[in-house]
Amino acid sequence: MKADNFRAIKIFTLPLFLLMALLTGCATQMAPRYDEALYKGITQSNIEIMTLFASLSSGTEKNTFVTREARYNTLIGTVEALAIQSRARPMPESAITEQVNIYLKNRNIGPLQHNEAPSTNALHQIAKQLVKMKEVDKKSGLKAALVPIFKNAVVISLDQAITYESFLNR
Amino acid sequence: MQDISAGISAAINQDVNHIKQFSTRQLKALAMQADLISAGILAGDINEDLQSFFLSSLNDMVLNLAKTLQGLIIVSIEKVCNIIMAVLTSAISTVTGINFSEL
């Protein structure tokens, strides 16, 4: 009798689980939603920042800093605003992510998901580079050798932000 | 079952390709950044303050690369879950005649 009950439970558990999953919402969301305005904002900033780097490629003199200050401020403000926009999206909590994290924790591995989208960190990093670049430019002018270092740092973070945000368009 | 496998293969192959290309680009750019910083220090173009800033930034960028890769993998796992659910939903709908999208 007990074996029969057990078999019956086994037969009905999977369909019941599937039905419940269907009724409670078929689509699982484990990552933030795609934000088209944010993506467009990042790609537009990419163009503007690369244009700035192109104009600085041979270095700068500190006495001409005032001609660039407003441009730095606009770009820093835009990138910081995009970081806020990225962070403002709710990060979904999913039962699947939770299960994966329990599995990872039991094996002493860090959790899969953090509270922030990686694009938020990447955008902060871009703003940080631009702020430092502005500071050096104002203080002593930018040596030509420093420009590619700042540029490559920004390119790395832009690539992280753009790749992640475009991946969210699923 | 074949529908699930085919759907997963199509989604995963494309994602794996994108993730592979992204990590290759990033690793090349990070190696280049390390080279640029070393050359700048040796040439005397980078003072102590900038040296500390660039090295700390490099560290942050590497950490964020790991977080980005993790984020991309999560999106792929989500796609797989949803492909499986979509195929199962459609199979149950066909058998039972229940239209789940209308529930």
Tell me what pLDDT residue A12 has.
Answer: 56
Domain coordinates in residue numbering, chain A: 29-167
Residue B72 within a domain: yes
**Joined tokens for residue A158:** 């832009």
> Would you give the end-to-end CA distance of chain B in angstroms?
25
- Domain range enclosing B82: 2-98
Burial of B33-69, coded b for 16+ CB within 10 Å and e otherwise, reads beebbeebbeeeebeeebeebbeebbebbeebbebbb
Tell me what pLDDT residue B86 has.
Answer: 83
Residue B103 within a domain: no
Q: Closest chain A residue to B70 measured between Cα atoms? A: A112
Contact present, A40 and A121 (Cβ < 8 Å): no
Phi, psi of A165, rounded to the nearest 5 degrees: -65, -40
Lowest mean pLDDT, pick from A53-62, A146-155, B15-24, B90-99 = B90-99
Contact present, A146 and B54 (Cβ < 8 Å): no
**Joined tokens for residue B51:** 């040296």
Q: Count H helices and E strands in chain A, helices first.
A: 6, 0
Nearest to A46 by CA among A169, A159, A166: A159
> Residues in chain A with pLDDT < 50?
none
Tell me the per-residue pLDDT of B34-55, one tens digit each, with 9 for 90 and over: 999 999 999 999 999 999 999 9
Residue B17 within a domain: yes
Q: State the DSSP string of A56-105.
A: TTT---GGGTHHHHHHHHHHHHHHHHHHHHHHHSPPP--HHHHHHHHHHH
Tell me what pLDDT residue B33 has.
Answer: 98
**Joined tokens for residue B64:** 């964020």
Residue tagged 């703003």 (tokens): A127
Residue B35 within a domain: yes
Which letter does DSSP use for residue A31 in this model? S
Residue B82 within a domain: yes
> Would the CB atoms of A112 and B29 count as touching at under 8 Å?
no
From the number of C-beta atoms within 10 Å of its C-beta (0-12, 13-18, 19+), residue A2 rates as exposed
**Joined tokens for residue A102:** 């329990």
Asked if B22 is an interface residue toward chain A (Cβ–Cβ < 8 A), one would say yes
CA separation for the pair A39, A167 (Å, rounded): 10
Which residues of chain A have a CB within 8 Å of the CB of B75? 30-31, 167-168, 170
Q: Closest chain B residue to A152 measured between Cα atoms? A: B33
Asked if A170 is an interface residue toward chain B (Cβ–Cβ < 8 A), one would say yes
Tell me the per-residue pLDDT of A31-69, one tens digit each, with 9 for 90 and over: 999 999 999 999 999 999 999 999 999 999 999 999 999
CA separation for the pair A102, A137 (Å, rounded): 48
Q: Is the pLDDT of residue B103 over 60?
A: no
Q: Closest chain A residue to B64 measured between Cα atoms? A: A118
**Joined tokens for residue A80:** 């910081």
Percent pLDDT > 90 in chain B is 58
Smallest CA–CA distance, residue A103 to chain B, in Å, is 15
Residue B9 within a domain: yes
How many domains would you assign to chain B? Answer: 1
> Would the CB atoms of B74 and A112 count as touching at under 8 Å?
yes
